[in-house]
Copies of this chain bind each other. A is one copy, B any other.
Amino acid sequence: MLKQERQQKIVEILNDEQKVIASDLSLRLDVSEDTIRRDLKELDNKGLIRRVHSGALRIGPPVEDFSKRQDVMKEAKQALARKAIEFVKDKMVILIDGGTTNLQFVNQLPLTLKATIITNSPPIAIALANHNDVEVIMLGGTLFKESMVNLGIETVEALENIRADLYVMGVHKIDATIGISVPSLGEASVKRKMVAISNEVLSMVTSDKLNTFSNHIVSPASQLTYLITDNIQPEVTRLYDSQQITVVND
């Protein structure tokens, strides 16, 4: 039995029975109590359950869908996504394009979120299928299979009639002076348009992508409103700060 599977089961049990005892789980799931405790600790850290002595309690009335919250990403990326979530408010119109980090981001969105989400990435759309109060608008185009996003003039044209509160941009490469760049022309033009029609732009960037660049420039870094990163070097922060970008570190 997979670890994730086991943790999912714990949450499910907790949804039915509202309290859970570690020693009991150990028998039911056929692992040691130590493992159960570690599971409970992890789930508590994610905010999915509330740990108490001898077991755990259900966190609240809303039934959490666990499958949307699996921990697959590296600690760094998880932290980034969690930070980014804070900038999302109900009733927003949010534009999201592709990328693994963005996918993790939508997986972290609360199921109770009420919003309109516009995306050109089929995997992102599917990941939002369980969010009942999110209206998903899919942008058409030619499927670019490398990164699973729809691109093309149709995509750009469809964006003409749209205004978004927040654009969550997937970033391949970023350099404080050169700007944000991608390896393909099609992606660049769509992203550029998305920046143009959005009030604020947010990007989650792991530190390995900082200070790198590719051949197609999307926009200067200064177009970013929020830069979520796990970088700790203060000079990098200053570099972006000086461009009026809100930098969020861990």
Contacts and interface: CB of A to CB of B under 8 A. Distances in A.
Interface of A: 2-5, 19, 21, 44-48, 50-55, 57, 59-63, 66-67, 70-72, 98, 100, 103, 121-130, 132, 135-143, 145-148, 150, 154-155, 158
Given A2-B21, A52-B3, A46 B145 contact: yes
Contact of A63 (B2, B62, B103, B129): B129
Given A19-B2, A52-B4, A137-B143, A126 B72 contact: no
Given A47-B148, A54-B2, A55-B2, A60 B126 contact: yes
Nearest to A104: B50
A136 B129 contact: no
Given A52-B70, A122-B122, A135 B129 contact: no
A72 B46 contact: no
Contacts of A47: 98, 100, 103, 121, 123-124, 148
A46 B145 CA distance: 8
B53 A3 contact: yes
Given A2-B21, A4-B57, A44-B100, A50 B72 contact: yes
A140 B123 contact: no
A143 B146 CA distance: 23
B130 A158 contact: no
29 contacts: A2-B54, A2-B55, A3-B52, A3-B54, A4-B52, A44-B100, A45-B100, A46-B147, A46-B148, A47-B103, A52-B72, A60-B67, A60-B127, A60-B130, A62-B129, A122-B126, A123-B126, A125-B143, A129-B143, A132-B145, A135-B143, A136-B145, A137-B141, A137-B143, A138-B140, A138-B141, A138-B150, A140-B150, A154-B158
A139 B75 CA distance: 34
A153 to B, nearest CB: 11
A138 B158 contact: no
Contacts of A135: 142-143
